[in-house]
Amino acid sequence: MLKEFKEFMLRGNVLDLAVAVVIGAAFGKIVQALVEIIIMPLIALIFGDTDFASSWVYMGITYGVFIQAIIDFVIVGAAVFVFVKVVNKLTANRFVEEEVEDEQLVLLREMRDSLKAVEENKKDGPTL
């Protein structure tokens, strides 16, 4: 059972998930700082207050908590969207280079096969 556990823990999927959790936590701190330091002061300039949780109360129900959760969700979603777009743009060139390498490899293989065919024809003698 210990051996199976070791194999499970050393699988690529588990390690990838562990890395994703750690990176996600670090990215969460970045997003939180972005929201608190940059975005919420801008919202405060527009609305005059950034604490929706305590300011929107109607008949004892704090609608502000829900509104704050929606605003936080939209801000985090936008930050993740921008981050993914930047990463995709940075990695797009890498995939293009791999495709070019694949095309070059196909051409080289075709040339090799053509040369082999020519060599085989030389061995068989002239054809009429």
pLDDT of 102: 74
Q: How far is CA 27 from CA 23, 55, 108, in A?
A: 6, 29, 44
CATH assignment at residue 68: 1.10.1200.120
pLDDT in tens, the chain (128 residues): 888 877 777 776 766 777 788 888 887 888 778 777 887 788 778 877 666 666 666 666 667 777 777 887 888 778 778 877 887 787 776 655 566 667 778 888 888 999 888 888 777 665 55
pLDDT of 77: 78
pLDDT of 2: 84
CB-based contact 90:80 (threshold 8 Å): no
pLDDT of 31: 77
Please report which residue ranges of the chain form alpha helices under DSSP H. Answer: 2-9, 12-33, 40-47, 52-55, 63-124
pLDDT of 76: 76
pLDDT of 53: 63
Range of the domain at 76: 2-124
Q: Residue 62 forms beta bridges with which residues?
A: 57
- Token reading at 30: 């970045």
Q: Total domain count for the chain? A: 1
B/e letters for 56-76, b = 16+ CB within 10 Å, e = fewer, are beeeeeeebeeebeebbeebb
Question: Count of CB atoms within 10 A of residue 34's CB?
Answer: 16
| Residue 61 backbone phi and psi in degrees, to 5 | -100, 130
